[in-house]
Amino acid sequence: MQRRGTSISRGKFLKMMGAAGVAGSTLSVLSCQPNTSATGGGGGSGGGPEEKELALYNWSDYVAGSTIPGFQKETGIKVTQDFFASNEDLLGKLQAGATGYDVIVPSDYMVAIMVKSDVIQKLDKSKIPNIKNVGENYMGLSYDPNNEYSLPYQWGTTGILYNKKEVGKLDSSWDAMWDKQFEGKMAMLADSRETIGAALYKLGYSVNSKNQDQLQEAEAELKKQQPLLRGYFASTEVRPLVMNGDILLGHVYSGDAFLAMSENEDLDYLIPNPRATRWTDNMSIPNGAPHPDNANKFINYILDAKVGAALSNYTYYNTPNEASLPDIDPALKDLPGYTLASDIFERLEVIEDVGKTTREYERIFTEVKSA
């Protein structure tokens, strides 16, 4: 699968340059820290015409090479990017008073938390006509039922990337991640909701359980698993470990799995039974954004059919943009787990805000990691 019309696939390019280098090399702007104080005259907060600027706060390496330059050429708006490592880091930055960002990219459950925390504002959907391109499966989800505060950016699943040449074809359950024969050759995500969620799924429970007995069972499962693991890592760290043969099974986000599979035919991706996670990253506008009109223009641009297709062809994640589907790379569509049958899609769960029980999830994960 080729990227940007070159002879170097994304996977090989990442190996050569590193993810940070790719992000820097594919943008025509610097990845810089935006001013975290509200912009004065000329900005959106002043009531007059907005400056031709936009500050995007995003996950790293999460735009195509054409995304930012294309938007700048179309609108004349200069874009700067800053990157966060987790939803919690993003939330913390906003709660600490950062007001220099115009568009942020929180995941599903974090949108609900941000609404309750009053750190994001309602969208002006009259300025986002490309909302018509979004598929109905990606609108009206539990974290933002009326899409008042968010619109989808990319979506994917969470499952198991594994070396089928070394371990054979896995059965359809989560059990392999607890199999003693793979001791030292497995890794889980360094994410409390996803990893505790895997244990809950294995036990037949919901990823959003608030039941103390179920959570205690999940904790016990994870403490059994912990000595068998190489460790807990980011998905982008798990991917090369599996690709290089350092481990045989890794808990990953689907885009990392598809990228690895495109480079190594010995690898496969499993979305285990009985349940697994379907997640959505979204575009939102923080309170205090200095350029809210520019933010609406950017969100609308991302939801353009061609732009959305180029984005997913770069990230290897799925697009929520139905108008983009005809332009998704056929080689990507053909990777196992990318195009989902309806019966698989229907058994996927969306991680939700569990309120005060969040503290219990964090406690469990902290204890499991130190066990």
Q: Which domains does the chain have, with CATH numbers?
A: 10-155+281-333 (3.40.190.10), 156-278+339-370 (3.40.190.10)
Q: Which tokens hold the place of 169?
A: 């074809």
Residue environment code for 123-138, b if the CB has 16+ CB neighbours within 10 A, otherwise e: beeeebebbebbeeeb
The answer, as to whether pTM is greater than 0.95, is no
What is the residue-level pLDDT of the chain in tens, covering all 371 positions? 222 222 223 343 333 333 333 333 333 333 333 333 333 333 444 456 789 999 999 998 899 999 999 999 999 999 999 999 889 899 999 999 887 999 999 999 999 999 999 999 999 999 999 999 999 999 999 999 999 999 999 999 999 999 999 999 999 999 999 999 999 999 999 999 999 999 999 999 999 999 999 999 999 999 999 999 999 999 999 999 999 999 999 999 999 999 999 999 999 999 999 999 999 999 999 999 999 999 999 999 999 999 999 999 999 999 999 999 999 999 999 998 999 999 999 999 999 999 999 999 999 999 999 98
Strands of 78-84's sheet in order across:
78-84, 53-59, 103-104
How far apart are the C-alpha atoms of 198 and 194, rounded to whole Å?
6
Map residue 347 onto helix, strand or coil: coil
